[in-house]
Amino acid sequence: RRRYPAVAAAMAWLEGFAEPRLTGTGACVFAAFDEEAEARDLLDRVPADFQAWVTRGLNRSPLQGCEGATNHWGVAKR
């Protein structure tokens, strides 16, 4: 959080409403809600300098199982 003040600000704001989390890449801050209505209510309160949207989460990547997809990161193993 020290290295990325914008991430720290987003997480601090979101902590007032839900448990903030980072995506695996750390590119986005998000929170899970039991009901879509809860998320939409919070969406109306998001500060103007943040980009936000409500979406449904997935347990698996839609790319998993696609032809040509690999299950490795392209790192040579010994």
Query: pLDDT digit string (tens) for 2-35?
Result: 788 999 999 999 999 999 999 877 778 999 999 9
- 12: its two tokens: 């601090």
Would you say residue 66 lies in a domain?
A: no
Domain span at residue 14? 5-43
Would you say residue 25 lies in a domain?
A: yes
Number of domains in the chain: 1
Would you say residue 31 lies in a domain?
A: yes
CA separation for the pair 35, 29 (Å, rounded): 18
CB atoms near residue 7 (< 10 Å): 17
- 53: its two tokens: 């949207």
How many residues belong to the chain?
78
Task: For residue 15, give Cα distances in angstroms to 19, 20, 28.
Answer: 6, 6, 15
Query: pLDDT digit string (tens) for 49-77?
Result: 999 999 998 887 777 777 665 656 666 55
What predicted TM-score, i.e. pTM, was given to this entire model?
Answer: 0.69
For tokens 């704001």, the residue is 13
